[in-house]
Amino acid sequence: MKKRVLGKSGLEVSALGLGTMNMTGPYGPPQDVREMVALLRSAVERGVTFFDTAEAYGPLENEKLLGEAFEGIRDDVVIATKFGFDFDPDTEQGLGGLNSRPEHIRRVTDAMLKRLRTDHIDLLYQHRVDPDVPIEDVAGTVKELIAEGKVRHFGLSEAGVQTIRRAHAVQPVTALQSEYSLWYRGPEAELLPALEELGIGFVPFSPLGAGFLTGKIDLTTELDASDFRSGVPRFAAEFREANLALVDLIREVATRKGATPAQIALGWLLAQKPWIVPIPGTTKLHRLEENLGGADIEFSVDELAEIDEAAAKLQLTGDRMPKSMLGLTGQ
């Protein structure tokens, strides 16, 4: 597996990471723990070193899963996790809403370390910007945790450019995590230029459009009510036909290059900037192996221009998140 460095931080990770959220939901019921431990270890054996989790995944169960899977091989992996929602670290109960108060960050970080069975977190993200807590206070708290050795790098998730700049002035931001793919290209206008200027890495989540860009979902697919995507506007039946035009485009490129649609979508992301590290998620070994093949896809300048030109002609529709979640994106 090829390696990449997130911005100017010096944090080296595999060119493709692994998003672990769905191992404990929300695209259906939680998976079997033993099977997921085996999958995580299989990923390490195949060269993946970068693993993404959060206290909100499960909730809390996802970090426990990684703690079990990586016990004994902790030095072989880079673990990224996230704080920012209101969980009681003692009772492990969700209290609802956002919480990035300094004292809360400290308490939940200690709880994360226990769940992950480790003495440090490689990359600690603020999961969502808390409008009630100045980002300078958040960055300052993480800076203290870094000085104490509990955390090694600071990240933000779904934050806007001004928030990133303010945080970066207090504690250098190693990585920004947000959605980015051929299906959602919002970061290209302002976010990517700012990250390049500041020397911050970019970690796209949903690089396969929550599975849509793989071609597994068509007009007849019915999403179960327990599947998070059933409430996401862009997956709705009335929008799906228009959005499937992008899948057709990706499939055409895949056929020409002897690859799968998933590999094309991931290879395209990797081709955008050398400091971009996508984190596709999966619960199946054969999908993991397929996704990892995306790191070997190479595009010529002409091929990238052709894809951009064709994609620009498409009328993609539907919000990328439910309206209640769109309100949690930062400025």
Q: Which residues are catalytic?
A: 57
Burial grade of 81 (CB within 10 A; 0-12, 13-18, 19 or more): buried
Kind and range of the H or E run holding 83 = strand 78-83
Half-sphere exposure of 282 toward its Cβ, with a 13 Å CA cutoff?
Answer: 23
A 10 A CB-CB count for 296 gives 14
User: Which CB contacts under 8 angstroms, 24+ apart, belong to 184-191?
Assistant: 184/209, 184/320, 190/161, 191/160, 191/161
Integer Cα distance of 331 and 327 in angstroms = 10
User: Can you spell out the DSSP letters for 137-202?
Assistant: HHHHHHHHHHHTTSBS-EEEES--HHHHHHHHHHS-EEEEEEE-SSS--GGGTTHHHHHHHHT-EE
Q: CB under 8 Å to 240, separation ≥6 — which residues? A: 217, 218, 219
- The Cα 203–Cα 206 span in angstroms is 10
Q: How far is CA 97 from the centre of its chain?
A: 21
Which among 264, 281, 282 is positioned nearest to 205, based on CA atoms?
281
Phi and psi, residue 323, nearest 5°: -55, -35
Per the structure block, which two tokens stand in for 85?
């929602």
Beta bridge partners of residue 12, listed in sequence order: 5
Cα–Cα distance measured from residue 65 to residue 57, given in angstroms and rounded to the nearest whole number: 11
CB of 56 closer than 8 Å to CB of 318? no
